[in-house]
Amino acid sequence: MSLILLLSFFFHLNSPINIPVTGEVNPPTDVTLTYQFGDSIQVDATLQEIGSIDRAIIIFQTDSGAKMQVPVSITPDGKLSGRLDLSDNPFKVFDHIYYWFELTDKAGNVTKSPSYWFDYLDNRFAWHKSESKWFTIYKTEATTISDSDLQEIALAGLKRATDLIPVSPQLPMQIYIYPDVDSLSSALGITSQDWVAGETRPDLGVIMVSAASADTLRVDLERQIPHEIVHLLEYSLTKTDYTDAPKWLLEGLAVNGQDDYAATFDQELSSAYQKNTLIPFEQLCTSFPPESSQSTLAYAQSASFVSYLLATYGDNKLTEMLQSVGTGGSCDQLVSQTLGKDLATLQAEWINAAFPKNHVKKGNPNDYWLLLLILPVVFAGLWCIRRHGSAKKKSEPNNEK
């Protein structure tokens, strides 16, 4: 199958943004666009009358404002052709991309054509689609799980997610299952953070997940799909303020949406507690540390903290917190106004609940200093006892036989 797909069904000849048509030149006709994801976009068109047109460009622009332009070649019979190189990943997967021509005549007058648009879908793979009332799931041939099992995994995740966040999501959700982590990373334009296994475009209702290997496919999907579904529900409460929500809250809820996450993080948490390296939650409000080990700890802490908050304050309070995002104020203020306590106080309470007092800490440097201070006293005491014992023995000569 050719990697370049004619986008007849993604391609729309309408003008959703208001680009004025100026000048006297008739706009190009027979406009066609093809692209190979991550490689190039090719646009061809015809000018019925070249007239005094001297040069032309095509401008591409996304909803988020990313903008690129390329020169257009013009043949004497009016064929226009422009190619945009995508190797630097100027656009993200699922971007809604507008494009239009700007034609300049010899006198410098510029004519803008109507604008056209297309959705930048990942056409590197032959996606197989399965549909239900709740989900449209796309998979490649590498995903060997049946359509009905995939729908079942997603539905179980949706039930857990709506238990945590009781809202009605926008349906159907779209789920893309990438064949491996690398192909998902390249779709997202990520090259260095290879631990990103799942991603959501909550504004579009799209989830992207991947499997680390064929052996772990089902386990990976049972973990990732519910996690990403929670993110979609969070978005339905926060809308465009989603990225301003405390990161520990977004990720903590998402991990709680996974079926059995606790065992994965137990070791990480107790080790950090014993070494006194737990991260203050104030530091996890806007982002997580990029280093893999610290990032895992951030997820582990957030999951445990949110689990504690859910048990103590109930899901309604966390829903209220998400709804209050964007009303102004800091992360700490958001928490205080919803739960009546600041983050540091809540962190201390969580530590008391998560790590019971009989859980002996090791490795605290203060403990070593205390030991150094106590040791001379202990030795002095032992020396006195020994001397006292010796003196006693001398006063009881008849005990020895």
User: Do the strands 79-85 and 135-139 form a parallel or antiparallel pair, or are they unpaired?
Assistant: unpaired
Cis check: omega of the bond before 172, within 30 degrees of 0:
yes
The total of other beta-carbon atoms located within 10 Å of residue 179's CB is: 18
Minimum distance from residue 33 beta carbon to Zn ion (Å): 33
* 254 forms part of the interface with Zn ion (CB under 5 A): yes
C-beta of 256: minimal distance to Zn ion in Å?
11
Nearer to Zn ion, 98 or 281 (CB): 281
Min. distance of Cβ 231 from Zn ion in angstroms? 6
Of 80, 32, 31, nearest to 55 by C-alpha is 80
Stretch that binds Zn ion, among 252-260, 276-284, 362-370, 384-392 (CB under 5 A): 252-260
What DSSP designation does 146 have? -
The least CB distance from residue 215 to Zn ion, in Å, is 23
Stretch that binds Zn ion, among 67-75, 253-261, 346-354, 355-363 (CB under 5 A): 253-261
Q: How far apart are CA 216 and CA 218, in angstroms?
A: 6
- The residue among 102 and 234 lying less far from Zn ion, judged by its C-beta, is 234
Helical ranges in 25-126 per DSSP H: none
Please give the Cα distance from 288 to 342 (Å, whole number). 20
Whole-angstrom Cα distance, residue 321 to residue 329?
12
Tell me the C-alpha distance between 223 and 225, whole Å: 6
Q: In what helix (H) or strand (E) does residue 198 lie, and over which residues does it extend?
A: strand 198-201
The window from 73-81, 126-134, 188-196, 243-251 that contacts Zn ion (CB under 5 A) reads 243-251
Handedness of CA 59, 116, 199, 305 (dihedral sign): positive
Position with the least CB separation from Zn ion: 254
Contact letters (x/-) for Zn ion, 51-90, by CB under 5 A?
----------------------------------------
How many residues line the site for Zn ion (CB under 5 A)? 2
Interface stretch with Zn ion, choices 21-29, 46-54, 150-158, 250-258 (CB under 5 A): 250-258
In angstroms, rounded to a whole number, what is the distance separating the alpha carbons of residues 172 and 136? 6
Q: How far is the CB of 350 from Zn ion (least distance, A)?
A: 20
Q: Does 207 bind Zn ion (CB under 5 A)?
A: no
Q: In the complex, what is the shortest distance from the CB of residue 251 to Zn ion, in angstroms, rounded to a whole number?
A: 5
Beta-bridged to residue 44, according to DSSP, are 32, 81
Binding segment for Zn ion among 58-66, 67-75, 170-178, 246-254 (CB under 5 A)? 246-254
> Residue numbers of the site for Zn ion (CB under 5 A)?
251, 254
